[in-house]
Amino acid sequence: MDTQASTHSPALSAVILSGGKSSRMGRPKALLPFDGKPLIAHLVERLSRRFADIVVVAAPDQTLPSLPVTLVHDAVAHQGPVGGICYGLQAIRGAAAFVTSCDVPFLQLPFIDYLVSQLDHNGRGYDVVVPVWQDRLQPLHAVYRRSVVPHLQEQLATQRLRPVYLYDTVPTRKVPAAEIKRFDPEGLSFLNMNTQEDYQAALAHWRTLSAPISCTVELFGVARLTAHTPRVPLTLSAEATLGDALTVLGTECPALLGSVLSADDAGYTSLRNGYTCNINGKDFVRDAHTRLRAGDSLLILSSDAGG
C-alpha cells in the first residue's frame, strides 16, 4: 500500500537517464524484463506515483517502448551523467527534478520525498540535494533545480563531465548516511545493475521484497481498553510504512478512530495528539514514512506513558 500514491507536485519533475552503453550487461538495461515489464516501464510506473511530469533521456539512436513520458535524446552521445542531467533538466516542466538512472529497480518513494523536502532545509535553499552512501556521492539519485542548467552547460563545454564539479559551484545539501538509513536502512536505493549476475540477484531480491509482511500492534492503556484487545496482527504490503500500518489498524479496529487514531478525508490515518508509537521497544516514531519490516512490533501508548 502506498498511502500517498496520488500525491503530485506541479513544481517537481522526475528525470530518468537511460542512455548508458550497458557494455558490461551485454544488452540495454532499460529493456531488461522486471516485474513483468521492461525495467524502464517499471521505473516510470513507480515514479508516476509522485511525479506527474517525467522525462526520459535516451541516447541519440536508442529505441524505447511507448511510455507516458517526455522523451528527449542526448544532443551529443556519451557525455556521461552531466550530459544526461543537463538535457533532462532542460525538458522538465517543474522547477526541480529528482534524477535517477534506468538501472535502479528499488527506488524508495518515502526517501525520494525526503530528498525533495531538503531543497529548503533549516531556512536555507539548496540547488542540489545529493545523498552520500558508503562515503560516495550518489549523483544519479539526487534532486536538482532547473536553475543549475547553465552550470552544467559550461561543464559540458569545458569537458568537465563529473557532477562533483557542480556541487563545488552551487549550494548543495549532502545527505549523510544516518539520515538515509531512516528511510532505506540497507541502501537499496543505490543498488544498480551492471552485469548479468547483478540482474539475476536483483530479480531474486525483488521477489523476496514483494512478499507481504506481518506485523503486530501492541496496545496499552486507553488504546487497549478502547479496542478491547491487547494485540492486533496486521498483514501489510511489502513496502509498508507506519502510515500504512495505522490505516490498516483503523480498518481492523474502528473503535480506535476518533480517540486514538485520526482519519483524514483521503482515508489516511495517523495517531492523534497524546499518543505515540514505539517500534520493537527501541525507537519512538511519528513519521508516517518510516518503513516497516516483517516481524516488527508496534507499541501504541499515550505520550505521557512513553516519555
Residue 203 lies in a domain: yes
Burial of 65 per CB tally in 10 Å (0-12, 13-18, 19+): exposed
CATH of residue 34's domain is 3.90.550.10
271: pLDDT strictly greater than 80:
yes
CATH of residue 244's domain is 3.10.20.30
Cα separation, 51 vs 15, in Å, equals 10
Residue where a domain terminates, one of 208, 228, 263: 208
Which position has the grid cell 535553499?
125
- Residues facing residue 236 across a β-bridge: 213
Q: Could you write out the DSSP letters of every residue in 209-259?
A: HTS-EEEEEEE-THHHHHHT-SEEEEEE-TT-BHHHHHHHHHHH-GGGBTT
Greater model confidence, 219 or 11: 219
pLDDT tens for 139-157 read 999 999 999 999 999 999 9
Cα separation, 61 vs 189, in Å, equals 28
Residue 7 lies in a domain: no
Residue 164 lies in a domain: yes
Residue 1 lies in a domain: no
Residue 101 lies in a domain: yes
The answer to whether the CB of 261 falls within 8 A of the CB of 270 is yes
Q: Range of 302's domain?
A: 213-306
Residue 6 lies in a domain: no
Which position has the grid cell 528525470?
15
Residue where a domain terminates, one of 188, 208, 228: 208
| pLDDT number for residue 205 | 84
Cα separation, 15 vs 53, in Å, equals 9
Which position has the grid cell 512513553?
306
Please, what is the end-to-end C-alpha distance for the chain in angstroms?
30
Question: Where is average pLDDT lowest: 107-111, 187-191, 268-272?
Answer: 268-272
Co-location of 46 and 188 in the same domain: yes
Co-location of 114 and 217 in the same domain: no
Residue 169 lies in a domain: yes
Rounded (10°) angle between helices 149-157 and 80-91:
140
Co-location of 233 and 103 in the same domain: no
pLDDT tens for 130-140 read 999 999 999 99
The answer to whether the CB of 161 falls within 8 A of the CB of 83 is yes
Residue where a domain terminates, one of 187, 208, 229: 208
Cα separation, 294 vs 124, in Å, equals 38
Residue 142 has phi, psi (to 5 degrees) of -135, 170
Co-location of 66 and 148 in the same domain: yes
Query: Assign residue 138 a region: left if phi > 0, alpha if psi is -120 to 50, beta otherwise?
Result: beta
Q: Which residues, at least 6 apart from 136, have a Cβ–Cβ distance to it below 8 Å?
A: none
Residue 31 has phi, psi (to 5 degrees) of -100, 0
Residue 5 lies in a domain: no
pLDDT tens for 212-255 read 889 999 999 999 999 999 999 999 887 788 988 999 999 899 99
Give how many domains the chain has, as a whole number: 2
Co-location of 93 and 228 in the same domain: no
114: pLDDT strictly greater than 70:
yes
What percent of the chain shows pLDDT beyond 90?
66
pLDDT tens for 36-94 read 899 999 999 999 989 999 999 998 888 899 999 999 998 887 788 999 999 999 999 99
Task: Compute the average pLDDT of residues 279-284.
Answer: 92
The answer to whether the CB of 147 falls within 8 A of the CB of 169 is no
Co-location of 52 and 144 in the same domain: yes
Co-location of 21 and 170 in the same domain: yes
